A and B are shown apart, each in its own frame.
Chain A
């Protein structure tokens, strides 16, 4: 770096944020240069807590958080991974006793003038916007045009060279340029060329660069010896350029200032990825980590393939070692065809798909997330400044006028008032985060009402719970959203998902709710398991109804639920077949519960038609389990889809002599379990049942007594008397039951026998 040394002993290292290739080149370059000070692109007012980054208790990925004192929702964060050049530079400085500091605009300026403020006005709540678009050092989303050159200039150079993965390009570049110095020189040249093509910088960017130039000059004036500047490659040409200090000072003059709070927070590997809407992230943190860890080795490709193989084996796909060898050979052949010095990410991926996955890209996708994102969670030292989540909680407690007290206290909330809703939302969000400060007293009881009752009691460990959840967001809303989103990703059963969606809607977390609905939609569409779908209908129907009490928009959910009902109706016929007694019982109960749910939401006529049609198909299906068919018949009868005469015909048919007794009994049970009282008033039904009972021989009759007892158990004493009277032909108006007619014939005596047996059994039971 002779050229830089000439520029006053200042060496500029233009890195790729989170680029393991840059990081390892940087460490080697620092070893060669031995600077007395390392200046890093980052908020200058956070320099005070920067050395903490090198503390041994600090385990990346971690992030530097800065937020305006009064508004944590506007948090900016600067994540650091193990393979981030900035992190490695800090470690190097700590190891070698060099001073280390940040040189970018202070976070106060950023807090007062959050980049992209104008964009946010466009209908999003502040929570949503900053939850998804975190500002990274290089990416104040919105303020700067979102050009790829700016976001990842090294990636642009790589793409121009035909690479999909910027790291593979960097690796190949190093391969061809073994000394680290010339690499950074070459990158700086390329950046200068790239910047020339772009129009003038946005003002905020110009100010940042001016601030950095001044800070570098200041350090130069204070210190003797070589100085290293570590910044995004993009900035190098501007920082190296000679500019009058006066101009720079004028640029940053009058920057707004707003008091901001800074701290460290644990981070997760997946949140480093582009896919998580973090602009300056990388496509694949897992791959970057792998590159970093194998930087000293020559068998990186084999290790990467071995990791893929392990994931595949965990998923139950046998992968032989021989296949790994073939995959590596293919990767090398591909690299040769593409004229690259060694296989990179793309070659390894394509070789793995061809050799290990049988050409199936779907299979690759099934392990892609685990492989490329990873599941690491960072740790921060105990001495880090207070977490913003706790501050947010304190602020909201004040706003809700609820004090955290250890003593139990009951709280009744009226959800129609703003304050009631605010308090309820706060308690629900905390509950999602595992802080059960308030426990609902009427859980599941009165979801349809406008009232909620809670028992409040604060426990000190709740604060710890909150700090652990910091990785999901800096405010209660963000953290609850993030944490729910993660659980949604893990949930597999439809009813479990439905519960999580309910939690999201109750706690007013639209982002998690939307995510939940999307996940649910996909899972429900692919599921043919009618039992699972049936079980998901009641909680969802509940939310649709309950949503009205919270003024939340349940339109999407309603559409989803309607689709679920239609799909369930179509798949129901197969689920009702060939069930044993226990499964049939369960299925009938699920259908009844789902039916209640369908009625609860009062869907459009065509949805209701589809649902009834599905039920009707079960009823008409010769293979349907009789117990289920009976239950369905009863539902349709109650819904007046099945006309009274038809019901009588149906029962007559189902209970006719040709039907095996066991099946007839099952149907009878299904039909009358919930509606035995029908028998009192409906003569046609009664006669059909009566006829069947009379036809049973003694053995069968005795065998089915328990069933009959169960059917009639729902009747109270008075109803039983009236039923007997009706069965005896005295009409329902008879005031006292059971007066034997003196002229009772043979038929009458048979009735008497049967009913006596029935009733005595019943009263014994």
Chain B
């Protein structure tokens, strides 16, 4: 047993990958360890030819994964878009692990990421001693992926500034990166590609420049389609977190989870669950992750200030916080929702009152 906190996917699932590779005699794109179909089996679960059970890594629409794998097989870069908590990074890691057996060539993009962290940096001691030379050059994960014909993962692409994003344009369209200082260039080997992930709803991220967007095939990972599935995900996470924070979970928590999620899902999808009433959608993403945060916040308030009783009052403030990101428009959206939907819904009368108070 390893004493590391978490292993990369290619090591945690080494057995599955090896079993798939053994039985995989289909054609493989150059640089790939598995054929595209075997990669799909690895992602979606199934059985290897020797009977090894492959656990599903992604539960959701098969077509999306097919598009993702096919994209990487065409040497086009792949952009996984989605609101927080839709398994973008998880899918990206497993794709890299299955295709090239290495998911560690990773650049975490932040507002502070500069070009040197994308292209290459310099070892300044060497640079001062010898001047610009290949020895003074410090390769980045992208550089090494080009060199070795592997997949480079860019996490949260839109968190870094647009000017830095644009560094990727040459790499993606010409498959090369000039090194002006050395008057040379590095050319990507076959098998090189980029998987980027980005958040498409949150405010405060940089726009993806259209020049760059054109160079990606985009797959949008959706929030869970199914209410039951989402309730289960949230309930599991809330219980885990409550355990970690030593918060008691009251018996009615399940009910309130369902109510919070009903409100979130209705506002998010722009229609009531029965599909009869159209609604405006607020500007926030109302993701599963936010629902979890809302509920954990409510549990904490209930535990410390309300003798452990969880009611709409404890949750209302954080629900309002999650919905109203724009003080003018979103407020009107929520008010409309309250007046035209929740008001008439019997079991939600406490919610109607609490939200009205919190607005």
Chain A 298-334 per-residue mask, 1 if CB under 8 angstroms from chain B, else 0? 0000000000000000000010101100100110011
Which of chain A's residues have a CB closer than 8 A to the CB of B69? 337
Count of interface residues, chain B, beta-carbon cutoff 8 Å: 33
User: Is A338 within 8 A of B66, CB to CB?
Assistant: yes
A-B contact pairs, 30 of them (CB 8 A): A318-B210, A320-B214, A330-B70, A330-B74, A333-B74, A334-B66, A336-B73, A337-B37, A338-B66, A350-B66, A350-B67, A354-B71, A355-B218, A357-B218, A358-B81, A521-B277, A522-B278, A525-B277, A525-B278, A525-B279, A526-B270, A526-B280, A528-B280, A528-B332, A563-B340, A566-B336, A567-B339, A570-B339, A571-B332, A610-B339
Which of chain B's residues have a CB closer than 8 A to the CB of A333? 36, 70-71, 73-74
Interface residue? B34 (CB, 8 A): no
Chain A 743-758 per-residue mask, 1 if CB under 8 angstroms from chain B, else 0? 0000000000000000
Interface residue? A175 (CB, 8 A): no
Closest Cβ of chain B to A25, distance in Å, is: 29
User: Is A337 within 8 A of B217, CB to CB?
Assistant: no
Q: What CA separation (Å) do A563 and B70 show in the bound complex? A: 47
User: Is A330 within 8 A of B218, CB to CB?
Assistant: no
Q: Which residue of the partner chain, among B40, B220, B332, contacts A337 with CB atoms under 8 Å? A: B40
- Residues B16-43 near A (CB distance < 8 A): 36-37, 40
Q: Which residue of the partner chain, among B66, B76, B210, B328, contacts A329 with CB atoms under 8 Å? A: B76
Closest Cβ of chain B to A343, distance in Å, is: 10
User: Is B73 within 8 A of A355, CB to CB?
Assistant: no
Chain B: CB-nearest residue to A564? B340
Known: A320-B214, A329-B74, A330-B217. A570 touches B79 (CB 8 A): no
Which of chain B's residues have a CB closer than 8 A to the CB of A350? 63, 66-67
Known contacts A329-B76, A333-B73, A610-B339; 9 further A-B pairs (Cβ under 8 A): A322-B214, A330-B70, A330-B74, A334-B70, A359-B218, A525-B280, A526-B280, A570-B336, A574-B332
Q: What CA separation (Å) do A334 and B63 show in the bound complex? A: 9
Closest Cβ of chain A to B44, distance in Å, is: 12
Closest Cβ of chain A to B116, distance in Å, is: 29
Closest Cβ of chain B to A519, distance in Å, is: 10
Q: What CA separation (Å) do A329 and B67 show in the bound complex? A: 12
User: Is B280 within 8 A of A360, CB to CB?
Assistant: no
Interface residue? B213 (CB, 8 A): yes
Closest Cβ of chain B to A497, distance in Å, is: 14
Which of chain B's residues have a CB closer than 8 A to the CB of A610? 339
Which of chain A's residues have a CB closer than 8 A to the CB of B329? 528
User: Is B278 within 8 A of A323, CB to CB?
Assistant: no
Chain B: CB-nearest residue to A358? B218
Interface residue? B219 (CB, 8 A): yes
* Interface bin, chain A: 35 or more
- Residues A338-377 near B (CB distance < 8 A): 338-339, 346, 350-351, 353-355, 357-361
Interface residue? B335 (CB, 8 A): yes
User: Is A334 within 8 A of B67, CB to CB?
Assistant: yes
Q: What CA separation (Å) do A329 and B75 show in the bound complex? A: 10
Which of chain B's residues have a CB closer than 8 A to the CB of A570? 332, 335-336, 339
User: Is B218 within 8 A of A354, CB to CB?
Assistant: yes
Which of chain B's residues have a CB closer than 8 A to the CB of A357? 218
Among A320, A329, A339, A361, chain B packs the most CB atoms within 10 A around the CB of A329
CB-CB nearest 4 A-B residue pairs: A359-B218, A525-B278, A333-B70, A359-B220
Which of chain A's residues have a CB closer than 8 A to the CB of B63? 346, 350
Chain A: CB-nearest residue to B279? A525
Which of chain A's residues have a CB closer than 8 A to the CB of B217? 326, 330, 354-355
Which of chain B's residues have a CB closer than 8 A to the CB of A353? 67
Which of chain B's residues have a CB closer than 8 A to the CB of A318? 210
Q: Which residue of the partner chain, among A337, A521, A528, A566, contacts B70 with CB atoms under 8 Å? A: A337
Q: Which residue of the partner chain, among B36, B76, B210, B280, contacts A330 with CB atoms under 8 Å? A: B76
Which residues of A come within 8 Å of B, CB atoms? Answer: 318, 320, 322-323, 326, 329-330, 333-334, 336-339, 346, 350-351, 353-355, 357-361, 521-522, 525-526, 528, 563, 566-567, 570-571, 574, 610
Q: What CA separation (Å) do A318 and B213 show in the bound complex? A: 12
Chain B: CB-nearest residue to A320? B214
User: Is B220 within 8 A of A567, CB to CB?
Assistant: no
Known: A570-B336, A570-B339. A359 touches B71 (CB 8 A): no
Chain B: CB-nearest residue to A361? B220
Chain B: CB-nearest residue to A567? B336
Which of chain A's residues have a CB closer than 8 A to the CB of B36? 333, 336-337
Chain B: CB-nearest residue to A326? B76
Which of chain B's residues have a CB closer than 8 A to the CB of A528? 280, 329, 332
Which of chain A's residues have a CB closer than 8 A to the CB of B81? 358-359
Which of chain A's residues have a CB closer than 8 A to the CB of B279? 525
Chain A: CB-nearest residue to B341? A563
User: Is B37 within 8 A of A330, CB to CB?
Assistant: no
Which of chain A's residues have a CB closer than 8 A to the CB of B74? 326, 329-330, 333
Chain B 230-244 per-residue mask, 1 if CB under 8 angstroms from chain A, else 0? 000000000000000
Q: What CA separation (Å) do A311 and B171 show in the bound complex? A: 31
Chain B: CB-nearest residue to A613? B339
Q: What CA separation (Å) do A593 and B76 show in the bound complex? A: 58
Chain B: CB-nearest residue to A339? B37
User: Is A521 within 8 A of B76, CB to CB?
Assistant: no
Q: What CA separation (Å) do A357 and B213 show in the bound complex? A: 10
Closest Cβ of chain A to B268, distance in Å, is: 13
Chain B: CB-nearest residue to A164? B63
Q: What CA separation (Å) do A337 and B277 show in the bound complex? A: 40
Closest Cβ of chain B to A726, distance in Å, is: 43
Closest Cβ of chain A to B269, distance in Å, is: 12
User: Is B37 within 8 A of A359, CB to CB?
Assistant: no
Q: What CA separation (Å) do A24 and B63 show in the bound complex? A: 30
Chain B 320-339 per-residue mask, 1 if CB under 8 angstroms from chain A, else 0? 00000000110010011001
Which of chain B's residues have a CB closer than 8 A to the CB of A359? 79, 81, 218-220
Q: What CA separation (Å) do A2 and B259 show in the bound complex? A: 67
Q: What CA separation (Å) do A521 and B278 show in the bound complex? A: 7
User: Is A337 within 8 A of B66, CB to CB?
Assistant: yes
Which of chain B's residues have a CB closer than 8 A to the CB of A326? 74, 76, 217
User: Is B67 within 8 A of A566, CB to CB?
Assistant: no
Closest Cβ of chain B to A606, distance in Å, is: 8
Which of chain B's residues have a CB closer than 8 A to the CB of A323? 214
Which of chain B's residues have a CB closer than 8 A to the CB of A522? 278
Which of chain A's residues have a CB closer than 8 A to the CB of B66? 334, 337-338, 350
Known: A334-B70, A350-B63, A574-B332. A360 touches B278 (CB 8 A): no
Chain B: CB-nearest residue to A323? B214
Which of chain A's residues have a CB closer than 8 A to the CB of B218? 354-355, 357-360
Which of chain B's residues have a CB closer than 8 A to the CB of A338? 66
Chain B: CB-nearest residue to A530? B332
Closest Cβ of chain B to A531, distance in Å, is: 15
Closest Cβ of chain A to B194, distance in Å, is: 15
Chain B: CB-nearest residue to A322? B214
Q: What CA separation (Å) do A354 and B36 show in the bound complex? A: 18
Q: What CA separation (Å) do A318 and B218 show in the bound complex? A: 16
Closest Cβ of chain B to A300, distance in Å, is: 19
User: Is B277 within 8 A of A566, CB to CB?
Assistant: no
User: Is A358 within 8 A of B213, CB to CB?
Assistant: yes
Closest Cβ of chain B to A328, distance in Å, is: 10
Which of chain B's residues have a CB closer than 8 A to the CB of A354? 67, 71, 217-219
Among A322, A326, A337, A353, chain B packs the most CB atoms within 10 A around the CB of A337
User: Is A566 within 8 A of B280, CB to CB?
Assistant: no
Among B63, B67, B69, B332, chain A packs the most CB atoms within 10 A around the CB of B67
Q: What CA separation (Å) do A570 and B63 show in the bound complex? A: 42
Q: What CA separation (Å) do A337 and B37 show in the bound complex? A: 6
Q: What CA separation (Å) do A570 and B359 show in the bound complex? A: 13
Which of chain A's residues have a CB closer than 8 A to the CB of B213? 358
User: Is B67 within 8 A of A567, CB to CB?
Assistant: no
Chain A: CB-nearest residue to B73? A333
Known: A326-B217, A359-B220. A526 touches B71 (CB 8 A): no
Chain B 31-62 per-residue mask, 1 if CB under 8 angstroms from chain A, else 0? 00000110010000000000000000000000
Chain B: CB-nearest residue to A606? B343
Q: What CA separation (Å) do A360 and B79 show in the bound complex? A: 12
